[in-house]
Structure 1
Amino acid sequence: MLLAALQMRSRPSDVAANLDRLDRAAGEAAAGGARLLVTPELGLVGYGTGPDLPLLAEPPDGSLVESVATIARRHSLGIVAGFAERDGDAVYNSALFVAGDSRTVYRKSHLYGPYEKRWFRAAPPSAQLFRHEGLNFGLLICYDIEFPENVRRLAKAGADAVLVPTALPAGGSGDFIAAHMIAVRAFENQVFVAYVDNCGRDGDFAYAGLTRIAAPDGAILAAPSGRDEALLFAPIVPETYARSRAENTYLSDLKA
């Protein structure tokens, strides 16, 4: 299966513009043969939206999610998109998967810094999986992947790939995470990892623009040539890495 990843410059509070960008990227991804498009953390509303986040938050059956579903149907592919999810009085930093009539929502469990902790509620850690094109995909969001237990939980649950919408900040720590941690998470769990970043500026935040798609053997399958918007493609074919799984038997040798 061919995966597409959109490194995107989201517009804070401008949902219509972000949906339009998603629609154009979905068309490009489908034309390139992709069956699944992954986009950044809170890309539909803008990570730096701040006080508008509670106002833009919607439930999974709201108009925003239906708009994403319409785009997915129009281009005949699956989409993973970040949004602010409302559940009663709680607002979650969430990622949505939609394809046809299938929908899955994952809520971020590890909130980063005072900004996220002000606007969102943390969800309990979970192994949220969905099946698409014959493969099992797990969902995490940004900071979640920096805790190895989260990726291991998904790998043990049977994930072939872990999809991670992110808003990695510009700076030395962000560079290190993209350059080293993503490949290690893939290798130590023998899964694909698609780490899909925001780029540019969004409100008070500047992003690293360091999207990475890593294979189970730690190889980087796709990365942007710069730090601006980019649409990347990578094949997700688990059987290609049978030798790597045979040589690196971490999951079967793990002692709980």
Structure 2
Amino acid sequence: MHAESPIKVACIQMEPKIGEKQANVARSLEKITEAAANGAQLVVLPELCNSGYVFACRREAFALAEPVPDGPTTKAWLEAARRHDLVIVAGVCERAGDALYNSAAIAGPDGYVGTYRKVHLWGSENLFFEPGDLGVPVWKTKFGRMAVAICYDGWFPETYRLAALQGADILCVPTNWVPMPDQPANTMVMANILTMSGAHSNSMYVAAADRVGVERNQPFLGSSLIVSHTGFPLAGPASKSDEDIIYAELNLSDARSKRVLNSFNQPLRDRRIDLYDEMLGTGIKRGWY
């Protein structure tokens, strides 16, 4: 499959149960099978969908963590990716030695693609996890170039920009969105607004899969969505309360071939890199845009 070919993306919105890792993984595999039967070639699942999110203590988090890619959860997703001939991006509680990371495993039909570790930790995550140390990698897949972010990473424009400048056509976002302070009831959830903004400003598709439910008194917002490189939703926002799978057919090559806003303006080209550092001071090798 070429980058110019349309692909079908699925975001799986599910409700993991804290501590019920085996059942959570089994549920994810059921949903992946359903998405594959509906033609999905890229599937995104929520943050920490194998373990649940609201840990009572570090001991509990450590007990639920496992290595990537050699742990049982990633192995199950690798087998599903191979069997269904698709790419899976899914949140996993990762253990690396004595360190824990809020991570995403990327599994492809030909095997393990890579790991993303959440860079910006939210709330009590700081008690359990180390900040991500792998940066914002971009992986080349058979359908295009892909980057990953997790939840609170989406509050930082740098996340989108670093992915875009390294050539990403799509940003996959496993997430566990929670209510924001002072959010008016009649407005779109802030996470959706930020996702749409990041996609628009960087001419990059975004596929964000959230969870639903209430876990240890923490409500989650659902509202998964798939956003065009224009910033407008292609699918979703999904329900705020129910499990669901949303789908969108898209052409990743449009993210780079149709990013001109008018005769004069193209946001990535119009950056004033004479006034600020091209790669935001990261030292990452420049990609293509």
Using structure 2 for the length normalisation, give the TM-score: 0.83
* 3-state SS of paired residue (1:150): helix
Structure 1 residue 23 displacement after superposition = 1.1
Q: Are 2:114 and 1:101 aligned?
A: no
Higher helix share: 1
The residue that corresponds to 2:62 in the other structure is 54
* Contact 1:195–1:211 (CA under 8 A) maintained in structure 2: yes
1:31-46 equivalent positions in 2, closer than 5 A:
31-46=37-52
From 116, 120, 126, the equivalent of 1:110 is 120
CA contact (8 A) 1:224 1:230 kept: no
Q: In the alignment, what sits opposite 2:17? A: 11
Corresponding residue for residue 156 of structure 1 = 165
Matched residue SS, 1:3: strand
Which letter does structure 2 place at the counterpart of 1:50?
A
1:92 partner SS: strand
Cα distance in structure 2, aligned partners of 1:191 and 1:180: 15
Name 1:233's counterpart in structure 2. 247
Q: What is the aligned partner in structure 1 of residue 155 from structure 2?
A: 146
Contact 1:57 1:85 in 2 (8 A): yes
For residue 75 of structure 1, report the CA deviation from its aligned partner. Answer: 2.3
1:77 shift after superposition: 1.6
Match of 2:268 in 1: 251
Q: Of the two, which has the highest radius of gyration?
A: 2
Q: Give the aligned length.
A: 255
Q: Which runs of 5+ in 2 are unaligned?
A: 1-6, 278-289
Structure 1 residues 110, 242: closer, same or farther in 2, change over 3 A? closer
**Letter paired with 1:19:** V
Q: Distance in 1 between matches of 2:107 and 2:73?
A: 12
Relative to structure 1, is the Cα distance of residues 75 and 40 closer, same or farther in structure 2, using a 3 angstrom cutoff?
same
**Distance (whole Å) between structure 2 residues aligned to residue 218 and residue 238 of structure 1:** 14
In the TM superposition, residue 204 of structure 1 has moved relative to its aligned partner by: 3.2
TM-score by length of 1: 0.93
2:134, 2:72 → 1: CA distance?
A: 27
Aligned match of 1:168: 177
User: Which deviations, in whole Å up to 9, do the C-alpha atoms of 1:195-242 show, x marking residues without a partner?
Assistant: 211111123321011111111111101114522111010123134456
Q: Which residue of 1 aligns with 2:234?
A: 221
CA deviation profile, 1:114-139 (whole Å, cap 9, x unmatched): x1000111124612122223301101
Q: 1:102 is aligned with what amino acid?
A: Y
RMSD: 1.9
1:21 shift after superposition = 1.1
Q: Which residue of 2 aligns with 1:189?
A: 202
Give the Cα separation in 1 of the matches to 2:260 and 2:142: 24
User: What letter matches 1:95 in structure 2?
Assistant: A
Structure 2 SS opposite 1:73: helix
Other structure's SS at 1:131 match: strand
Equivalent residue for 1:72?
81
- Aligned-residue offset at 1:59: 1.1
Secondary structure in structure 2 of the residue aligned to 1:238: coil
Q: Which moved more, 1:12-21 or 1:64-73?
A: 64-73
Using the TM superposition, name which of 145-154 and 100-109 deviates more. 100-109
1:120 pairs, out of 125, 129, 132, with: 129
For 2:61 and 2:237, how far apart are their aligned partners in 1? 29
Aligned-partner SS, 1:199: coil
**2:79 match: secondary structure:** helix
